Amino acid sequence: MAFQVGDKVVHRTFGPGEVLRLEEKQLAGLSRLYYVVQVSKLTLWVPVVGADERSLRFIMEGTDFNKLYKILRSPGEPLTDDRHQRQIELVERMQEGTLEGLCRIIRDLAARSHFRKLNENDSSIMNHALELLLSEWQLSQGMPAKEVRRQLDALLEESKEATQRSVDRLPTPIHN
C-alpha cells in the first residue's frame, strides 16, 4: 500500500493525519525512506517499508461507515470481570488498529458501564477509542464534532437497549 503526499491517512495509535512528504533518514547506519505524517500537532515518521494496515491506512470512506453503525447499535458483548485480563484483551483490540475493533471496544465498554462503573484503565481505553473513532468519523463524513457525537450516542443507546433485552432473556438463577 503506497501513500502519496497529500493523502489523508490514519495512524493506528495517533489517529487521522496527512502525509506531508517522503523523507530519507539515516538511523543506526541504515538509510530508510519514511512517510512524514502530520497528526494534529504531532509529526510522525513512519517507515515506508513495513507501512501497512497495522501502522497506516487510508481514512474510511463515508459509505463504509454503515457497517460500523451496525456494530455500534448491536448488543454489547460481555467483558471478563478480571480487570487485568480485561485490560490485556482491550489493549490487544486497540492494537488491531481497525475502526471495527474500536467500535467493538466502545460498544462493549459502554454496555459494561450500564451495569457497573468503569475503572480507570477501562475509562482510559474508552476515551482513547472514542477520540480515534470520532476524529475519523468527523473527517470521513464531513460533519461537525457535535453531530458526530450525537449520532454515536444514539447508536450506543440502541446498543444499550439491545443489551438489556438480551440480559432480560437470560434465565433467572435459582437460589436455595
What pLDDT is stored for residue 142 in this prediction? 87
**How big is the CA angle at 51 (ends 68 and 63), to the nearest 5 degrees?**
25
Closest CA to 10 of 124, 104, 140: 140
What pLDDT is stored for residue 62 in this prediction? 75
Looking at domain 8-58, which of 3.40.50.300, 3.40.630.30, 2.40.10.170, 3.30.60.50 is its CATH number? 2.40.10.170
| Start and end residues for every CATH 2.40.10.170 domain found in the chain | 8-58
Closest CA to 132 of 148, 150, 108, 114: 148
Residues 6 or more apart whose Cβ sits within 8 Å of residue 155: 69, 72, 73
Size (the chain), residues: 176
User: 62-168, superfamily in CATH?
Assistant: CarD-like, C-terminal domain (1.20.58.1290)
What pLDDT is stored for residue 27 in this prediction? 83
d(CA 148, CA 12): 20
3-state secondary structure of 36: strand
- Tell me the sheet residues that pair with 30: 27
DSSP string, 50-117: T-STTTEEEPPPGGGHHHHHHHHHSPPPP--S-HHHHHHHHHHHHHH--HHHHHHHHHHHHHHHHHS-
Please give the radius of gyration of the chain, using alpha carbons only, rounded to the nearest integer.
19
What pLDDT is stored for residue 109 in this prediction? 97
What pLDDT is stored for residue 171 in this prediction? 62
What pLDDT is stored for residue 140 in this prediction? 87
How confident is the model over 144-164, as pLDDT tens digits? 999 999 999 999 999 999 988
What pLDDT is stored for residue 49 in this prediction? 84
d(CA 1, CA 126): 29
Contact 93, 104 (CB under 8 A): yes
Residues 6 or more apart whose Cβ sits within 8 Å of residue 52: 1
Task: Collect the ranges in the chain with pLDDT lower than 50.
Answer: none
Q: Between β-strands 8-11 and 56-58, what pairing exists: parallel, antiparallel or unpaired?
A: antiparallel
| Start and end residues for every CATH 1.20.58.1290 domain found in the chain | 62-168
The one-letter amino acid at 5: V
